[in-house]
Each structure stands twice: as C-alpha cells, then as structure tokens.
Structure 1
Amino acid sequence: MLQRALEGVRVLDLSRILAGPWCTQNLADLGAAVTKVEHPERGDDTRGWGPPYLQAADGSDARLSAYFISCNRGKRSVAIDYGTPEGAAQVRELARQADVLVENYKVGTLRRYGLDYDSLKAINPRLVYLSITGFGQDGPMADKPGYDYVFQGMGGLMSYTGQPDGSPGAAPLRTGVAVVDLSTGMYATSAVLAALYQRQATGVGQHLDIALLDVAVALNANQGANYLVSGENPQRTGNAHPNCAPYEVFRCADGYLILAIGNDGQFARFCTVAGLPGLARDARYATNSARIEHLPQLRALLTEIFPTRTRAAWTGAFDAAGVPWGPIHTMEEVFAHPQVRHRGLQQVARHPVMGDLPMVRNPMLAGQTGPLQPPPLLGEHTAAA
C-alpha cells in the first residue's frame, strides 16, 4: 500500500508557507516520518493566515488556520530557534539522522548557521537536500524572494488568463489558488522520490534545486509550445480553450455549464442534440481547426441557442449522446457530490486537543484506508525530539 511506501524514511522539514509543506505533506501521506522545525514563537507563517480558524475542541485557546491544516497533516512539530548556536546544533543532529531535508529559505540563509547542503553533506553524505526558492540557486536573480502571485505573472500564466481585450473586466487574472506553489510542491515530491531511488544505486544523496520560476514557465505547457512554434504570444480568451472549440462556458436558461468538445465526432453529436445537424457539415465548422478560425461566429450562434433550454435539458441530452460537459460547482456542491463522496475525498483527522479536523484525501491514495494523522500544534513534539 502506498500509505506505507516510505516507511523508514525520515524527513526534516524546514519549509514554510505552501510549496515546501505541500511536498512534505505528500511524503508524510506516503508513510515518511516528517519532522517540521518551526520558530518557537512564530511558527510557520500560515498558522496566522486566517480566518477561518478551527478552535480547539477541549475549550482551550489553541487554534489552527484552515490554510495551515491544508498542507501540514501527518507531521510532527518541534520548536527550535536555529538562529542560536544551540538551536543550530539541534537541527544539525536531526539532519545527521535524516534521509531528506526540505527548505525554502533565500539562497545563502542557512549557510550562516551551518545548515546548508555542503555543511550537512559532510556529516550525512546520504542526505537528499531539497531547496525550493523563487529563482533557483544561481543566476542574476537568485538572491531575490518571490511568492506564487509574482510567478503567475512573471512566468506568463496571467498574460493569457482573463477576459479578452475589449470585453467587460478585461485584464490579466491570477488563478483562484496558488497553482505555482502547489505545482512546485508536486515537482519537488517527484524529485525527492527520484533522488531516493537513485540513492539506492549510488549510496549518496544530492542537492535538489527547484525554483518557482522554472515551474511557472513549465506550467505554460501547450500555451508555451504554441508560442515557441508560432512566435505569437497567446492572448486572453476568457473561458475558451486556445486549441479546441467549442470548449468553454455557456449560459443556459437557468445557469451555466461547461461544453468541452475535444474532436469532430463530439461536435457532430452536439450539433444533433442542438437541432443543428447541418452545422457539423458546414466548412467553417466541420473541423476543429476551422472552428478555431471561425470561433467568434460559432460562439455567437451557440450563445443564442443555449438559453433556449435549461441545464437539465441540455445535460440530459448530452449524456445520452456522449457529448462532454461539466458543471461549475461551489465548494458546498463539490463535497456533497455523490462521486466525491464515493471516492472518499473528504476525510477527518482526529487530534487530542483540536478534535476532528476536516481534510481532503491525497489523490495518490485512492482506495486505500487508514486514519489520517492531523497537523500538529506549534512545538507539539519538541519534548520527544
């Protein structure tokens, strides 16, 4: 079972905010023993990123922010000020026994305390040392800090996200969650697992350099490839897909739905459902490339057709004909959805002080059972470290 895949692997987590903790939470979910080192007074910054907060079930003043809960389950928290000689020595001793260390400080910060890769490699050559930074370990901007929002803009994502020029509300737009941070955490998880696998053959660890800017550029995926092939900057297209059509949001008589046509056969079936079978034979719309070329005309036509029926009428006919579509759910609707419930995506972790903590199951652990370990209170495990 994947929940026990990393049993015996010891992770020392010096990271804060989201990208690093998302990585170490993945490792904890896979069975690694993760020790989170936090400042004795402040702790991880996200402990204060609220509201909302979950208050302690035992009536004490303890609380956890929802943000912190989202990315720190399964970890032990030890409160150590590594800025003191005693604290730095404690962290070095933990690193001596660790398989993995994850940190996301500015380049050079940990060197001042003897906690950089070269210093720790000398006492633990098997250590896999992961550094997550904004711009990487080298280059003209390596010493600069950065947050997810900055890299959504700098990496290009915001340049083609948002309503088109000339439309109401036209402007660059960020995503609703910190997608660069989260993706960095996933890339970092993969890199750590690969380094641990490689260590089996070499016997030694290595320094992994993961940069948010690198991830942001990679996340452009087909949009980046579109530019590299065509030499043309992708433009903001609102909810429309840059390479498939019709592939966007439409308003029905009583709300919205997502129409997701991925090939010409699906478009032909959609046209039949819409009562316009001839549209699929029209040279302007018969192929995906033609539909992209004539998208404004096609969109205007469909914008008039969709409000003639309710969502239920459209989606029932789509299901019967095999036409891809999707709803736009609120969070309440997401967690009430029968498929989400069937997959067990909402789970509960139980903490002796905080009580029941609502959590979201790791997508890697589908079909696997076992109690979730809650996120820790600040310094909860210091005495046992």
Structure 2
Amino acid sequence: MPSLPLSGFKVLDLTRVLAGPMCAQILGDLGADVIKIERPATGDESRSYGPPCLEDPEGKPTDDSYFFLCANRNKRSVTVNLTTSEGQEIIRALAKVSDVMMENYKVGDLKRFGLDYESIRKINPNIVYCSITGYGQSGPYATRAGYDAVFQATTGMMSLIGHADGEPGAGPMMVPLGIIDYMTGQNAAIAVLAALHHRKAGRRQGQHIDVCLFDSAMASLSHLGQQYLESGKPRPRCGNRVMGNLPSGVYHCDDGELILMLGNNGQFARACAALGLEHLSNDPDTIGKGSDLDGDALRAIFAARLATNKVAHWLAELGAAAVPCGPVNDLAQAFADPHACARGIQVNVPHPLDESLTLIRNPLTFSATPLKEYRYPPRLGEHTQKILSSVLGYDERKIAELRRSGAI
C-alpha cells in the first residue's frame, strides 16, 4: 500500500470538542500519527455529548457520543493530567519529538503549565504550534469562550438565514450543523500544511498559527459580506428563494420537493422548455436573471407547473435539459442516493463496541496516495501504555508510578 501524504509526521493533539479534533482528524486521515491527549477518567468532553451515544453489543449506551465519533478517527488516545508536573513533563517530551502541536485552550491557559508556544519552541524550535480558539489570540474578545452557534449569531450569518420578514416563522435561523467548527478545522489543517511546507522549503523553522471560529465565520460570509462592504446594505432574508436569479428556489412537486437553481438566461430558457413554459423565455420581460418581472408571479407559474408531477419526473426532464436542480433529500435519502453510494461516502470502521460502525469518509481523493485506512475513534486512554513506552521509552515501573500519582 502506498504511503499517505503525511506519513512520518507526528501530531500532538491537545484539542477538544469539534474544530480542533476535526483538524487533527484531517491530518490523521492524511497519514500523520496523531496522539490525542485527554483528561484521565473523563477525556474529551465531547465524548459525553449525548444522548444519543454509541451503544454496546447489549444495546446499552456507552460513554462515546456520535459527536465524538465524527471527529476523532485515525488517532491514538493518551490520558494525561496537565495540572501535574509529571503530566506537563510528558507533554513536553512528546512535543520535543512532534512536528505539530495543536491546542484549543482559552488564551493564556497553557502558559500556566509551561506548555504555550514560547515555552515549547525552546525545546523544539521546528515545531508547528497551532492554537484554535473562539475569538483568536488578540482583540477585545480574545479571552471569551464560545461555541459554533454563538459565532453564527455574532458574525451576522444567522441574520442571512431564515424566512423573509413578514412570512410565518420569520426571523434569524441557526444552522444545526457545526458548520463554523467544520470550516475552522479545515482552515487550521490548511494552515498546518502550509507551515509544514514553509519549514521544509529550506527555512527549517516552525511557527505559531492562530486560527479561530470568529475569523472563519466572517470569512465565510462570501459574496453577501462583500455586497454589504460595498453597498452598506445587508441582503434581507429570503428563505429558500434566491434573490437575483429568478425563479430559483425550492418547489413542491406531487410527492416531494426539489431545488431549482438558474444562474443565467440560457438555463432559464432551457428550464422553461423542459417545463412546457416556452412562452416565458420568449418574452424579454420575463428573462430570469435580473428580471424586473414580479418575482412572486413568476415563481407562482413555476410552482403551479412543478406541482403537477413527481420529483423524479421533473429531475429527469430538467436534467436532460442541463438545468441545475436536485431533490430535497432527508438524510436517509441522501446516504442511499446512488451517487453517494458510488462515491463511497460511507466507510465501515469496526469498533470494539460496534463491529458495524459506519463513518463518513474524508472528502479528499488522491490518485497516488488514496485514503483507504480508517481506524476507529479511540477508546479513552487506549494507547497510553504503548505510547509512553514506545515513543518516550518509559518502563513499566515508571508508567505504574504515573498512574498511581494521577498524572495519567
């Protein structure tokens, strides 16, 4: 089997919850040896983010939540008590032989233990040290705590999502996925890879990386953020409709819903033809993109037509006309979709408590170094003994003393 892109790199992961673990998981998927540091007895607090949780063979809930399982594969778990001098020495010893160290503690917390970047770089000048926080290492909010939904709210993202004012249920709406955590994890992984490249490209030096949820959320505002910066006018919420690309949006069919996205006049004309509404595309006043026609009136025409048949029928008609569209699936339909199956989105990763554990694969695909190895998210402290002995050279007596003292 060919080596993976990051084979040979060692990552010391002190992160918890989602953004940091997601970054470390990406690095682990790419072949890095990720050593996950967890608190003795309780571990990463996301292990207990349930119910629901993974069930044991008898159907009883375990202490591993689905939240934890989604972001911690391809890692080895070591329990270390950072509040003890012995525990701190273990972290320093591991950092000395690591390429990357990651943490997502509150700003300044690890300095108390001599585990901050300035302390670690003294023993390993080449280390890439990545700090992932809510608000970053600087600024008036640097010491504040926060979770994904907080950043969806504070960065204006929620103000853009939801039903339009005046409609039933109007108001800002939260995305229930950890979308900011996920983007922050990806941004952190990009930064780590760039820093490793910088270190390798003749410079032979590490550096401190500052990645935060706030910055990631602000950057994700994309064209709507750019629109506001230039015009000073925020885009109003519009629910499932798309402003400026009439009549894009979600439509009810006879047996479900589909989404229609028309990005140019050619797509509008082809959609009209596929729906038997050719007269609309022949009228200059009803050209879809940038039209002055009453949007509600145009959408009503499309809605009435699409309601006359089933989703599959219209997907076939619109797809044959090269019109961007898709079904509005629930999760069962999404995972069962033939394309999802063909792309191998689900991977079986046998777990000590569930031989049939299924995870979502890494979305990256390589021709020369395919990502085919998926190891189950580790049990708490599963690799403590092995790593302390094989990586640090501790003998059984020393490891036993560390256990008795509560350092591991």
SS in 2 for 1:303: helix
Cα deviation, 1:244-297, whole Å, max 9, x if unaligned, reads 332210011221111111211111011112222121132332251126x74233
Count matched residues.
384
SS in 1 for 2:169: coil
Correspondence for 2:23: 23
Query: d(CA) in 1 for partners of 2:329 and 2:86?
Result: 51
Instruction: Tell me if the contact between 2:281 and 2:287 (Cα under 8 Å) persists in the aligned partners.
Output: yes
* Structure 1 residue 2, shift from structure 2 partner: 8.7
Query: d(CA) in 2 for partners of 1:196 and 1:60?
Result: 43
Distance change >3 Å, CA 93–CA 60, structure 1 → 2: farther
Query: d(CA) in 2 for partners of 1:266 and 1:97?
Result: 56
Correspondence for 2:45: 45
**Which amino acid letter does the alignment assign opposite residue 146 of structure 1?**
G
Bigger drift between 108-117 and 321-330 goes to 321-330
Query: d(CA) in 1 for partners of 2:104 and 2:84?
Result: 19
Unaligned segments of structure 1, at least 5 residues: none
Query: d(CA) in 1 for partners of 2:189 and 2:36?
Result: 16
SS in 1 for 2:307: helix
Matches within 5 A, 1:205-284: 205-284=206-285
- TM-score, structure 2 normalization: 0.90
Instruction: Tell me if the contact between 1:15 and 1:105 (Cα under 8 Å) persists in the aligned partners.
Output: yes
* Structure 1 residue 301, shift from structure 2 partner: 2.4
Query: d(CA) in 2 for partners of 1:158 and 1:243?
Result: 20
Query: d(CA) in 1 for partners of 2:115 and 2:161?
Result: 40
Instruction: Tell me if the contact between 2:157 and 2:221 (Cα under 8 Å) persists in the aligned partners.
Output: yes
SS in 1 for 2:284: coil
Query: d(CA) in 1 for partners of 2:224 and 2:129?
Result: 32
Unaligned segments of structure 2, at least 5 residues: 388-408
Cα deviation, 1:127-163, whole Å, max 9, x if unaligned, reads 1000011111011111111111000011111001000
Instruction: Tell me if the contact between 1:2 and 1:30 (Cα under 8 Å) persists in the aligned partners.
Output: no
Bigger drift between 334-343 and 61-70 goes to 61-70
Bigger drift between 361-370 and 336-345 goes to 361-370
SS in 1 for 2:280: helix
Correspondence for 2:386: 384
* Structure 1 residue 176, shift from structure 2 partner: 2.5
Query: d(CA) in 2 for partners of 1:171 and 1:2?
Result: 51
* Structure 1 residue 234, shift from structure 2 partner: 1.3
Matches within 5 A, 1:64-103: 64-103=64-103
Correspondence for 1:132: 132
* Structure 1 residue 242, shift from structure 2 partner: 3.4
* Structure 1 residue 366, shift from structure 2 partner: 6.1
Query: d(CA) in 2 for partners of 1:253 and 1:40?
Result: 55
**Which amino acid letter does the alignment assign opposite residue 266 of structure 1?**
Q
Distance change >3 Å, CA 56–CA 362, structure 1 → 2: same
Instruction: Tell me if the contact between 1:315 and 1:325 (Cα under 8 Å) persists in the aligned partners.
Output: yes
**Which amino acid letter does the alignment assign opposite residue 377 of structure 1?**
R
Matches within 5 A, 1:38-187: 38-57=38-57, 63-187=63-187
Correspondence for 1:323: 323
* Structure 1 residue 65, shift from structure 2 partner: 1.4
SS in 2 for 1:217: helix
Query: d(CA) in 1 for partners of 2:179 and 2:236?
Result: 20
SS in 1 for 2:177: coil
Query: d(CA) in 1 for partners of 2:11 and 2:179?
Result: 24
Identity %: 44
Instruction: Tell me if the contact between 2:53 and 2:62 (Cα under 8 Å) persists in the aligned partners.
Output: no
Correspondence for 1:372: 374
Instruction: Tell me if the contact between 2:29 and 2:373 (Cα under 8 Å) persists in the aligned partners.
Output: no
Query: d(CA) in 2 for partners of 1:136 and 1:329?
Result: 37
Distance change >3 Å, CA 237–CA 59, structure 1 → 2: closer
Q: CA RMSD, aligned part only?
A: 1.9
Asked if 1:304 is matched to 2:316, the reply is: no
Instruction: Tell me if the contact between 1:92 and 1:115 (Cα under 8 Å) persists in the aligned partners.
Output: yes
* Structure 1 residue 59, shift from structure 2 partner: 9.0
Cα deviation, 1:49-100, whole Å, max 9, x if unaligned, reads 1222223349998552111110000000000011111111111111111110
SS in 1 for 2:286: coil
* Structure 1 residue 196, shift from structure 2 partner: 0.2
Query: d(CA) in 2 for partners of 1:300 and 1:366?
Result: 45
Instruction: Tell me if the contact between 1:161 and 1:236 (Cα under 8 Å) persists in the aligned partners.
Output: yes
Distance change >3 Å, CA 247–CA 357, structure 1 → 2: same
